[in-house]
Structure 1
Amino acid sequence: MMTTKERYESAREIYRQAGVDTDEALKILKDIPVSMHCWQGDDVIGFDQRGALSGGIQTTGNYPGKARTPQELMDDIDKVLSLVPGRTKLNLHASYAIFEEGEFADRDAIEPKHFAKWVEFARERHMGIDFNPTFFSHPMVKDNLTLSSPDPEVRKFWIRHGQACLKIAQYFAEELGQPCVMNIWIPDGYKDIPADRLTPRKRFKESLDEILGIPYDKEKVLVCLESKVFGIGMESYTVGSSEFTVNYAASRGILPLMDNGHYHPTEVVSDKISSMLLFFDKIALHVTRPVRWDSDHVVLFDDETKEIAKEIVRNDALERVMIGLDFFDASINRIAAWTVGMRSFRKALLYALLTPNKKLADFQEEGRLTEVLLIQEEMKTYPFGDVWDYFCESCGVPVRETWYDDVKAYEEQVLSKRD
């Protein structure tokens, strides 16, 4: 029986004949940062509220073992990191502030000190941190409105929250020596057909201008604005539509963020990436798996995930596209869900790196479209799995499905003891 290394050497020769350097692909792959979303571990609950999710977000399922404390969430993140190859960043929501006993700060008053333990955690693991203001699951979300609310007190509260998050994001960047991607998404919208679409968007624009009006280092904090097509309770109208967010980002010198669950079912983000790269120096992604709607299923090694990765790689945009994952599934083991999603997107990046992209692009330019099609199809049966297995082994993480043995042991020893 061939060893993982022997299978890799055989695969390397097959890919070499196709014009692909697998050694170089693995070198690049290992250093591509993928941002791991903390909210898969506790169903997007966070530590500053104890109520149910609200604001157009819903998690389904009640699998036992959810993280209940910062330490439990950190332990779970560590378990996933031990199973996933490559460079990882940590992606936090503001609702994951950690308070000392007897201390509390509302979202408009959070400070860097409330995230010091996260910085310590990330520094010890040589990780950067990305960040998100949390504009949901809070009493000041009034009638599904935040930054676009007609109530000035509601708007002011959330503007202060956004400004506080900018300061925290810069703190992350300065402490950890890596830029912090700070993504703004709001749940604002209406369930039924609105009488006035313009005014809420005008208020949203003015609120964003106030948030971004405070001083911050644009090299250290990469502010993004994320769109959405609809949400629970806002099915007919979303204030932060794609047209709004792209135009605002372009006019204010910030990044657009595309979540591939936030578009109509016939739209695909993979087709949008090349257009966005022509007009923005950098863009950001939240990679998820929508099933008929924005349901945030676990990311798989499926066609659209592969196409997203291909567009990033073939356009030489690995340093221009900020990659984060965004899904939350409470119906299955949360550690397994995290691991499947993280490994799947890393597989997609490898698959893209093992494609003879230059040759295919040249053939397209020369009108050799038959050859483009047949090479794309033949590459699907190349020994990709042997290269992936070798990458996992060389990174010191389990090969193939053996990682689930670790998850089952962790569930028995740790998760099953949580109430």
Structure 2
Amino acid sequence: MDQRVVESYKLAKEMYAQHGIDVDAALEQLANIKVSIHCWQGDDVQGFLFKDESLSGGIAVTGSYPGRARTADELRQDLEQALSLIPGKHKVNLHAIYADTDEQIDLDQLEPKHFASWVEWAKEQGLGLDFNPTCFSHPKADDGFTLSHPDEGIRKFWIDHCKASRTIAEYFGKETGQTCVTNFWVPDGYKDIPVDRLAPRQRLKQSLDEIFAQPIDPQYNIDAVESKLFGIGSESYVVGSHEFYMGYAIANNKALCLDAGHFHPTEVISNKISSVLMYIDQLLLHVSRPVRWDSDHVVIMDDELLDIARELVRGKLLDRTHIGLDFFDGSINHVAAWVIGTRNTIKALLRAMLEPVDQLREAELNKDYTSRLAITEEFKSYPFGAVWDYYCATAGVPVREDWLKQVKAYEQDVLLKRV
């Protein structure tokens, strides 16, 4: 290990120790956190089940950076490259359209066997797997409705698909030995103002009740439900609103998914975490960067990412929270996007762990808001970067921007050769 990294780490440890912060303990805690890295950044959400189906259902990827994965093998190869540059052992999040099979089947016919190659790969890599039913980019979703569709036959198709997805998720959990989190999001809604807001929500509830009727051991699978404020084609009304899913999660003991881009532009999910975890047992986060709407930019070290991490650390909520990424950016190198977003997410958690939380809480209780602000601001320039460098070095991954050289080489050797 570079001796400069070691010496900088020792100096940083001394500075943090003056405030009672055990840096070694923070790194040990950090190493046990698994970020769920989404597969769809690698291929622009195309999937492999329907070769010719274009994106629809409020899903859009902009950019045409060369080298996106065209097969499951290529996607796994790209994920391995990204994971080799990210400290820690993590999880990979799959959508149903990433089934690895030559069979001509539809979404409601999916079985665990269609994901066997993913499971074997995950076991070889020491990774967990998470899952999502794919309720978009399908002819039966073209009119913008799935689980709340007024047509009983179409609604049954999507119910059967979601049931199949839970069976696959249970298989993931049993085979990998790591609990699979299965997230349910549907694009259902109206572009213009509806007359009847209630009936679609009643149908959605009935569909969910039927999907979740079969109990699955939470050791293997945890169900999560995800809301959205609006989307492309559902600007005026989304059936699965925050209020709908918040209520459903509480009433049915489901995890609630909060996506950073699924609320009003001035709303932030960091401010919702402590509230929702008062009433639900587990939380799923989709860490994204919405910019001006749910446009899913690569995660950067911005204020909201830091605030999300602080909420989880200060409230000791990490053991009840599943952290997943959700962005797709076709304008930059697909592998680099994973590395940037995941490293930033882990880095933000480290920064939160290196704050003098007890000291700040005491100042707040004593109404010493001057000290609270002063210490918070001063800690923004404390040498967390030295601790991060040491963590990366001990994990056997590149320190600082050295990882970019490997991604650039991989681009030349692998990605640009794909046609």
Q: What TM-score bracket applies, with the shorter chain setting the length?
A: over 0.9
Q: Quick check: 2:192–2:236 contact (8 Å CA) kept in 1?
A: yes
Who is 1:37 aligned against?
Answer: 38
- CA separation in 2, counterparts of 1:51 and 1:142? 11
Who is 1:13 aligned against?
Answer: 14
Equivalent position amino acid for 2:92 in 1: L
Equivalent position amino acid for 1:71 in 2: D
- CA separation in 2, counterparts of 1:305 and 1:416? 32
Who is 1:165 aligned against?
Answer: 165
- CA separation in 2, counterparts of 1:21 and 1:216? 39
Aligned-residue identity in percent: 56
Per-residue Cα deviation, 1:173-213 (whole angstroms, up to 9, x for no partner): 01111111000000000000111111111100000011011
Who is 1:376 aligned against?
Answer: 376
Q: Tell me the TM-score normalised to structure 2 length.
A: 0.98
Who is 1:267 aligned against?
Answer: 267
Q: Quick check: 2:179–2:218 contact (8 Å CA) kept in 1?
A: no
- CA separation in 1, counterparts of 2:82 and 2:417? 19
Structure 2 matches for 1:103-252, cutoff 5 A? 103-252=103-252
Structure 2 matches for 1:316-331, cutoff 5 A? 316-331=316-331
- CA separation in 2, counterparts of 1:29 and 1:321? 14
Who is 1:253 aligned against?
Answer: 253
Who is 1:404 aligned against?
Answer: 404
Aligned partner (choices 53, 59, 62) of residue 61 of structure 2? 59
**How much has 1:276 moved relative to structure 2?**
1.1
**How much has 1:149 moved relative to structure 2?**
0.6
Q: Residue 139 of structure 2: SS of its match in structure 1? A: coil
* Structure 2 gap ranges (5+): none
Could you tell which deviates more after superposition, 77-86 or 14-23?
Answer: 14-23
Q: Quick check: 1:142–1:149 contact (8 Å CA) kept in 2?
A: no
Q: Quick check: 1:142–1:154 contact (8 Å CA) kept in 2?
A: no
Q: Quick check: 1:131–1:181 contact (8 Å CA) kept in 2?
A: yes
* Structure 1 gap ranges (5+): none
Say whether residues 1:305 and 2:305 are aligned partners.
yes
Who is 1:81 aligned against?
Answer: 83
Per-residue Cα deviation, 1:320-347 (whole angstroms, up to 9, x for no partner): 0011000000001111111100000011
- CA separation in 1, counterparts of 2:79 and 2:143? 34
Q: Residue 318 of structure 2: SS of its match in structure 1? A: coil
Who is 1:47 aligned against?
Answer: 48
- CA separation in 1, counterparts of 2:206 and 2:172? 26
Q: Residue 109 of structure 2: SS of its match in structure 1? A: coil
**How much has 1:167 moved relative to structure 2?**
0.5
- CA separation in 1, counterparts of 2:309 and 2:88? 15
Q: Quick check: 1:288–1:326 contact (8 Å CA) kept in 2?
A: yes
- CA separation in 2, counterparts of 1:175 and 1:258? 27
- CA separation in 2, counterparts of 1:68 and 1:224? 29
Who is 1:22 aligned against?
Answer: 23
**How much has 1:216 moved relative to structure 2?**
1.9
Q: Tell me the TM-score normalised to structure 1 length.
A: 0.98
- CA separation in 2, counterparts of 1:40 and 1:362? 42
- CA separation in 1, counterparts of 2:129 and 2:400? 28
**How much has 1:215 moved relative to structure 2?**
3.3
**How much has 1:2 moved relative to structure 2?**
6.0
**How much has 1:218 moved relative to structure 2?**
3.0
Q: Residue 148 of structure 1: SS of its match in structure 2? A: coil
Who is 1:95 aligned against?
Answer: 97
Per-residue Cα deviation, 1:146-168 (whole angstroms, up to 9, x for no partner): 00111111100000001001100
Who is 1:293 aligned against?
Answer: 293
